[in-house]
Amino acid sequence: MLIRIDPSSADPLFEQVGQQVRALVARGDLPVGTRLPSARDLAASLDVNLHTVLRAYQDLRDDGVIELRRGRGAVVAHAPDHAPLHRAIAAVVAAARELDVPPATTLALLKEALR
């Protein structure tokens, strides 16, 4: 599991964990059915509290990214082919760079467009 956490980041820890897993799943690095490390294990290896990882996992479950079951752990649930999405995102990044649009503005635009 290639999850890294930056304790000094502005983003909350549980959100960082969630974002990393989302990216891994969307990228196809974690096929459907893959078992994620147990919340306790991941918490220990990231040197973070159990509840922090658990909150990330529960957010992911609420979005249908993973399934959670006691005794079995967290399993990747949904993972279609995201290639078109990645191409579209790459195009956005290129356009933003080209136009010298700050990242915060690009994110604000996408955020609004997604509502």
Partner DNA sequence: CTACTTGTTATCCATCAACTAGAACAACTT
Partner DNA sequence: AAGTTGTTCTAGTTGATGGATAACAAGTAG
Q: Does residue 60 belong to the site contacting DNA (CB under 7 A)? A: no
Residues 66 and 60 sit within 8 Å (Cβ to Cβ): yes
Q: Which residues pair with 73 in a beta bridge?
A: 69
Pick between residue 20 and residue 38 the one whose CB is nearest to its own copies. Answer: 20
What residues contact 4, with CB distance under 8 A and at least 6 apart? 20
Site size for DNA (CB under 7 A): 28
Interacting residues with its own copies (CB under 8 A): 18-20, 22-23, 25-26, 59, 63-65, 78, 80-82, 84-96, 98-114
Are the C-beta atoms of 26 and 82 separated by less than 8 Å?
yes
Using the rule CB under 7 A, which residue among 4, 31, 62, 71 binds DNA?
Answer: 71
